[in-house]
């Protein structure tokens, strides 16, 4: 029997607060530090590994975290989720994004439908459509092939798919699988749509409208913007647009689209990249086979997340070390630092994934919690970030845990030797140096040049950023966020916090407002 309890009611949590803390600078020094880094590594799928040698834990704390995982029933709660129990208590829904990439447990039948079969069926329909576009069977009015695909969406309909597309664009170029260039329109700011459209060959562009409800204000506004541009170019918008939506939305059976592909209420926006939300644009851009490899990598990571043994479950391990840092050590922020330009938008996706999921101050039952929950997430690719905000990370008054991602080899394979080493070697040297610099620091009589060290980090290391690696990376962080939500006893799968602003914006547009809201609307000339 699963018991959903607040974290501060667990004996194992109280025990963690009483334990001796790790002196990270001392632990990482010398040969003991080398042994520690070697020992604290766990495979995470797709040939990658999660190394937590520079996180502020030792074997005793890991043992206590394992006790916490058992008392909090994290494995059982994950099983309840993938077996189709109603985990999203706020919206009274199942949480089924894992089923897009594999059957982890029992068949899940909802609304009279086997959901794994439903998701596979939609993937096949998308694959068939993409293949017909690539072959020219589905073409523009002149019978010419579409060469660009542009996704219109916002939030989870944009951030994840955009991050994944950018992560694989260069890989696809060198591997001969870049079928179509992709673009994205998300912001309701007209400069976003206008800027993107100004760079597109509309005659050869195919647009994907993504809205589960079919009523998302920003997305429908941008759809109208795009349709207007197509009409002005003498084109029929219905021959240039497809929809990804729910079967019950007004978009589902509309003649305004060449085709419609379906998702359901059991997949939240920020967890939807494995569904048709990511599947349509990625299959059109790279081909269905590449999207299938992405799903394979995600499935590998999902299977590891089932492991009951904490030190063999990278997502749960990452999650609970994060809980320890947040709640015992009191660190309010986490930086995500990919040393890969291809992952330039991955931190932005993780901001939504983490902060929209676990940015909660009430538990699953709507009762206030009396401990910290989700951290603030930010990030930028290395080495760019080193020349931006690393000063504060190294010598600022706040200690900020760091999550590095690095790869031994570049995606494109083009490099030069300068001063005895390649650019890729310089990139990797920087990430290795930063981990040790943050952990160990440097003493100096001049306090302006002193580094206290003791600043924790982990790194996910892979050979190359492939579709499988991107899938495993995405699933790792999705599962990490899920486990942390379970630990904090919050509902990670609704987002009521985004609703109030939307309601007030509609009041402003309807000129139905007073007080400060009215004054601000007048200042903005609405």
Q: Which residue in the list 122, 218, 300, 356 is annotated as catalytic? A: 356
d(CA 460, CA 521): 46
Phi, psi (degrees; rounded to nearest 5) at 258: -65, -35
d(CA 478, CA 443): 39
- Cα-Cα end-to-end distance for the chain: 54
d(CA 84, CA 227): 39
| Whether 356 is catalytic | yes
**180: nearest Cα among 131, 142, 242:** 131
Q: How far, rounded to the nearest angstrom, does the alpha carbon of residue 306 sit from its chain's CA centroid?
A: 20
d(CA 319, CA 42): 14
d(CA 268, CA 510): 29
Structural contact between residues 235 and 202, judged by C-beta atoms closer than 8 angstroms = yes
Structural contact between residues 257 and 224, judged by C-beta atoms closer than 8 angstroms = no
Structural contact between residues 56 and 21, judged by C-beta atoms closer than 8 angstroms = yes
**249: nearest Cα among 219, 270, 229:** 219
Q: Which residue in the list 124, 450, 502, 506 is annotated as catalytic? A: 502
| Whether 476 is catalytic | no
> Strand pairing of 417-418 and 457-462?
unpaired
> Strand pairing of 457-462 and 402-407?
parallel
Where do runs of H (alpha helix) occur along 287-341? 288-304, 314-323
Structural contact between residues 171 and 342, judged by C-beta atoms closer than 8 angstroms = yes
H or E element that contains 39: helix 30-39
Q: DSSP code of 325?
A: I
Q: Which residue in the list 253, 387, 426, 450 is annotated as catalytic? A: 387
- 172's CB contacts (< 8 A; 6+ apart) are 178, 285, 286, 290
| Burial of 176 (C-beta count, 10 Å sphere; 0-12/13-18/19+) | exposed
| Whether 387 is catalytic | yes
Catalytic residue numbers, as ranges:
356, 387, 502
């Amino acid at each position: 029997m699963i018991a959903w309890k607040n974290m501060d009611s667990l004996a194992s949590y109280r025990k963690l607060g009483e334990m001796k803390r790790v002196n990270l600078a001392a632990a990482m020094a010398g040969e003991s530090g080398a042994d520690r880094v070697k020992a604290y590594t766990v495979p995470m799928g797709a040939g990658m590994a999660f190394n937590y040698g520079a996180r502020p834990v030792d074997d005793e704390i890991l043992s206590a975290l394992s006790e916490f995982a058992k008392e909090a029933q994290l494995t059982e709660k994950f099983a309840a989720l993938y077996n189709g129990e109603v985990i999203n208590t706020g919206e009274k829904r199942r949480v089924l994004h894992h089923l897009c990439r594999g059957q982890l447990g029992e068949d899940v039948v909802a609304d009279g439908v086997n959901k794994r079969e439903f998701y596979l069926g939609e993937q096949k329909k998308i694959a068939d459509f993409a293949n017909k576009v690539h072959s020219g069977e589905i073409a523009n009015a002149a019978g010419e092939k579409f060469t660009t695909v542009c996704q219109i969406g916002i939030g989870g309909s944009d951030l994840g798919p955009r991050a994944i597309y950018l992560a694989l664009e260069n890989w696809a170029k060198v591997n001969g699988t870049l079928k179509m260039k992709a673009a994205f329109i998300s912001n309701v700011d007209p400069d976003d749509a206008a800027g993107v459209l100004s760079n597109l060959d509309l005659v050869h562009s195919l647009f994907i409208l993504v809205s589960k409800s079919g009523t998302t204000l920003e997305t429908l506004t941008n759809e109208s913007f795009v349709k207007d541009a197509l009409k002005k170019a003498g084109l029929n918008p219905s021959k240039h647009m497809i929809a990804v939506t729910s079967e019950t939305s007004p978009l589902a059976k509309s003649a305004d689209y060449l085709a419609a592909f379906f998702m359901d209420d059991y997949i939240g926006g920020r967890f939807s990249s494995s569904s048709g939300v990511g599947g349509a644009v990625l299959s059109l851009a790279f081909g269905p086979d590449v999207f299938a490899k992405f799903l394979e990598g995600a499935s590998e990571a999902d299977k590891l997340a089932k492991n009951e043994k904490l030190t063999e479950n990278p997502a749960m391990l990452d999650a609970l070390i994060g809980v320890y840092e947040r709640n015992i050590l009191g660190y309010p922020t986490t930086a995500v630092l990919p040393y890969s330009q291809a992952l330039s938008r991955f931190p932005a996706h993780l901001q939504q994934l983490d902060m929209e999921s676990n940015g909660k101050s009430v538990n699953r039952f709507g009762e206030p919690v009396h401990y910290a929950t989700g951290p603030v997430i930010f990030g930028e690719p290395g080495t760019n970030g080193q020349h931006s905000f690393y000063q504060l990370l190294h010598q600022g008054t706040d200690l900020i845990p760091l999550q590095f991602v690095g790869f031994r080899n570049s995606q494109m394979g083009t490099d030069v030797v300068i001063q005895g080493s390649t650019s890729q070697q310089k990139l990797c040297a920087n990430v290795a140096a930063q981990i040790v610099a943050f952990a160990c620091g440097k003493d100096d009589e001049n306090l302006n040049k002193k580094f206290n060290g003791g600043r924790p980090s982990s790194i996910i290391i892979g050979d190359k950023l492939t579709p499988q690696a991107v899938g495993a990376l995405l699933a790792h962080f999705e599962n990490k966020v899920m486990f942390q939500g379970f630990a904090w006893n919050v509902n990670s799968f609704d987002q009521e916090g985004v609703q109030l602003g939307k309601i007030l914006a509609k009041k402003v547009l309807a000129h139905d407002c007073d007080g400060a809201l009215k004054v601000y609307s007048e200042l903005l000339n609405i």
